[in-house]
Chains A and B, each alone.
Chain A
Amino acid sequence: MIVTPKIFARLAAIALLGVLLQISFFSRVTVLGVSPDVLPALVVVLGLLGGAMTGAVAGFAIGLLLDGSLVESLGGSSLVLLGVGYLTGLLRERFELRGALVAALACLGLTMVAELGFALVQLTLGVDAPVSLLIVRDLVLKGIFAFFVGWPLYIGLCRLLRAALVEEPRVTRRRQPAVFGA
């Protein structure tokens, strides 16, 4: 991804809007008893589009914005999301992963990884209460929600950041004209 000042402004606006939508909409609705978490999916899509560095920096910034906006301890979400962003970027760079379906599947898997990461950070810092097994249901459902969010998110961000994307030119085969009676 070629990050010009204009693209940087777009990325910042996407991060801001993503965090705002998450804390005022997605976190406040429940579907099947679980609130969707779209921020890992947003980081995954940015990582797929921009590569490991873009993913890591976007993850760090989005995590920082999230924790800061909720006036919570800083650093925990940043650490998890930067890891998810970097991992997505690496997957894209090593295996040349592209496409909306790949994005949706990556959102599913890596949202679960992110939720596991949040759990790991919290358990490392100490939890003063018993933990319900429903946390597993929460993790799986968040992953499934991310699958459905990942698809349109990838297509939308592809369009929004088209100017910055380094795409290999599509190879289109021209059909040779058929000559009859030659």
Chain B
Amino acid sequence: MTTTDTTRTGQTVRSIAYYRTPLPFGTLLRAHLRIWRAQRGVLIGGLVAMGAGVIGLIAATASLTGRVTAADVATHFGGFPVLAFSLIWLAVGGIAGASPFKSGWAPVVLTVAPRRGRWLTACLTSFLLLTLAVAVAFDLLAALVTAVVLATKGQGLGPVSGLVKPALAIVLLVLIQAGVGFLLGAASRSVTAAIIIGYVVAPIIPAAKIGSVDLGRWLDLEGALTAVSSGHPSGGALAAAMTAILLWIGGPAVIAWSRLRKSIA
């Protein structure tokens, strides 16, 4: 093996040192964005979320009667539409996180890009980028719908500003849910397990108590997400919400990484 680049049958043959350097993260991201386009489960999940969100928007629009203020917009769009759009993202994340192992594409990627931690990070990041894009698209759609409603009522666009908080809350909420779902899927390597943990186990956990210690408060993912989507958690509530989110991200991440180090099958 050579130590410098040479040519072999007209092709550049890289030195061994070249192969020590990891693939640029951007290359990994681009490849994974291509992969997500091919993974039907993630695509369908995104479309279902969007569909549910649109139903929520229609319901919110129908309930806007009389003169509309920014506070009305914040209340109506921050309620049902946010819930409808964000509900499915834990499952979509679970599908995405389990797919490299269930669909068998992890070995296809890792035989070319062998750094496993980097791969998992790129996998998660690219999925979150797509999630972000869908969430932003939904926010823009909500703004458009609001503008149309206001125009039909002969009002100015001022009340659209009421969407800023719900819009930011949607992005944050969806990213957290998608991320937690992804890590649950990657840790369990099973969509079913990720869905059961996310939608059944997580809501039960807040009831957990050891003696007089209220452990559930610090593990309450649903409560934390509600706090995030409602806007301004503070003090003890903020600490509990942050702890719950970090535990729900950190725990599955550690398990996913540990399993990945041992095997990819």
Task: Indicate, yes or no, whether A interacts with B.
Answer: no
| Chain B residues close to A by CB (< 8 Å) | none
